[in-house]
Amino acid sequence: MPRHERLRPDHGMRATIAATAARLMAEDGVDDYFHAKRKALRQLGLPEHTALPDNAEVEAALRTHLSLYRGEAQDALVAVLRRSALGLLEMLAPFHPYLTGSVLDGTAGEHSYIDILLFADSAKEVEIFLLNRGLDVSHVDPRSDKVEAVLRIETDTADANLIVMAPAMERVVMKHRDGRQRARIRADGLATLLAE
């Protein structure tokens, strides 16, 4: 077999990997696409150099999985998480908050976090703001060097990751690793979404 044929991705295999990664994200709470794809490779017994699906393929498989296996329960879960997120966005208004991630895009599961972007001069000022409101705060390692800190707090429905960035970053268009623009929404937009 010519070398170029061996390296050509098998679209059926990519779909299988995407479906397995989606199941891991939905059922086991894996929240990182890359980690889910690598774990799917191991579960399927495939070599490490196997061509992986991109994040958009896994996200599409995740939407399909949630639609098939969770149906209306998924819609109800997302609505509850979005209402909690709206309360957080309103409380955190001094830090120009945006909802992002799986709660916004509708792929959140039982193990998902509410991801909120905050723009502040320092993470310490956000932490003091939260502590003054009687909220327990823990720190999570940031996944990007553009993030000053990730503060985790509990809500009545799910834990929330408060991703603190410098104020200048609010004007920057953020992208997923695969180049797609990362969606984000302010409180007024989320209120409109919940009213639909």
105-131 per-position pLDDT tens digit: 998 888 889 999 999 999 999 999 999
By CB atoms closer than 10 A (0-12, 13-18, 19+), residue 188 is exposed
Helix (H, G, I), strand (E, B) or coil at 164: strand
Tokens, residue 139: 């720190």
Output the pTM of the full model: 0.80
pLDDT digits 0-9 by tens, 60-86: 999 899 888 888 898 899 999 999 999
Every domain of the chain and the residues it spans: 3-69, 71-195
Class in CATH terms, 71-195: alpha beta
35: left (phi > 0), else alpha (psi -120 to 50), else beta?
alpha
β-strands 184-185, 98-100 pairing: antiparallel
What sign for the dihedral angle of Cα 124, 175, 39, 71? positive
% of the chain surpassing 90 pLDDT: 61
d(CA 12, CA 18) in angstroms, rounded, equals 10
Above 80 in pLDDT, residue 137? Answer: yes
Confidence of residue 39 (pLDDT cuts 50, 70, 90): very high
The angle at the Cα of 70, spanning 83 to 105, to the nearest 5 degrees, equals: 45
Query: Mean per-residue pLDDT for 87-116?
Result: 93
